Amino acid sequence: MQLSEELLNYLEKEKIKEIITACPGCYSTIKGSIDNSKLSSKVQVIHATERIAEKLEELTGKRNKKDKLLTKVTYHDPCHLGRLGGIFESPRKILKCCCEEVIEMEHNRYDANCCGVGGGVRASFQSLSEDIGKKRIEEARNTGAEILATACPFCELQFRSVGGMEVRNVFELLYSYVESEVEN
């Protein structure tokens, strides 16, 4: 509570109008604090995928559709970004811009299954956490995708630790796409 109050005081003092974060947990925490304060109409909290999705054409230039990364990807909706934040389309827009095909898992958006790392589950119940992560990896593999993408560093670490599929962050894939443009 004290940190939240300090943040709100700082934002008001410095007249900050916008906060952009790449962490879904930080996004939902900061947004919750601001939405429940007198600054709710003055400060906007944005997840980095939202801003990037707005600026995709500017970031990637006008590339031929054939220039996409030759990969099939499926997207895991992080709990804090999806169910808590309602942000589903901006990460998908980024992936559709740079990847050959985006294939949805059976459970996606509000119905997405958790990766198993959040809420202290991994720290308290490591075996359960790993089982949840493995089930989500299996669901991703069942799509036929080559890569499981996510916009959460904690989900990314969880999936990499349980293994079974290549895991990449949405930002990494966009960077690879933009970088390949420079090399061509």
Among 53, 69, 86, the domain boundary falls at 53
**Quick one: 71 and 15 in the same domain?**
no
> Are residue 42 and residue 103 in the same domain, yes or no?
no
Residues 40 and 128 in one domain: no
Residue 81 has pLDDT above 80, yes or no: yes
Label residue 46 left, alpha or beta by phi (over 0 means left) and psi (-120 to 50 means alpha): beta
Give the Cα-Cα-Cα angle 124, 115, 85 (nearest 5 degrees). 105
Kindly state whether residues 118 and 157 are assigned to the same domain: yes
Cα separation, 84 vs 115, in Å, equals: 15
- The domain boundary residue, chosen from 11, 29, 53: 53
Domain match, 118 and 176 both: yes
122 shares its domain with 158: yes
Average pLDDT over residues 118-139: 92
The token duo for 22 is 């790449």
172 versus 1: the higher-pLDDT residue is 172
Residues 175, 98 within the same domain: yes
What per-residue confidence (pLDDT) applies to 184?
Answer: 47
Lowest mean pLDDT among 15-24, 60-69, 162-171: 60-69
| Alpha carbons 76 and 143: distance in angstroms, whole number | 12
Burial class (CB in 10 A: 0-12, 13-18, 19+), 157: middle
Number of domains in the chain: 2
> Which residues have C-beta within 8 Å of that of residue 106, sequence separation ≥ 6?
139, 142
45 and 68: one domain? no
The pLDDT-based confidence of 64 (bands split at 50, 70, 90) is low
**Residues ≥6 apart with Cβ < 8 Å to 155:** 76, 78, 115, 117
Please give the residue range of the domain that contains residue 27. Answer: 2-53
Which pTM value belongs to this model?
0.88
Q: What is the mean pLDDT of residues 173-177?
A: 89
Residue 138: which of 105, 161, 170, 111 has the closest Cα?
105
83 and 115 assigned to the same domain: yes
Ranking 63-67, 121-125, 143-147, 151-155 by mean pLDDT, the lowest is 63-67
**Looking at the chain, how many residues does it have?**
184
How much is the average pLDDT of 5-23? 89
- Shared-domain flag, residues 47 and 67: no
pLDDT at 105 exceeding the cut of 80 = yes
**Same domain? 89 vs 178:** yes
For 10-19, 126-135, 136-145, 146-155, which range has the lowest pLDDT when averaged over its residues?
A: 10-19
Q: Are 85 and 175 found together in one domain?
A: yes
Question: What per-residue confidence (pLDDT) applies to 179?
Answer: 77
- The pLDDT assigned to 63 comes to 57
Domain stop point among 33, 53, 73: 53
Spatial neighbors of 181 by CB under 8 A, at least 6 apart, are 60, 61, 63, 67
Summary mean pLDDT of the chain = 89
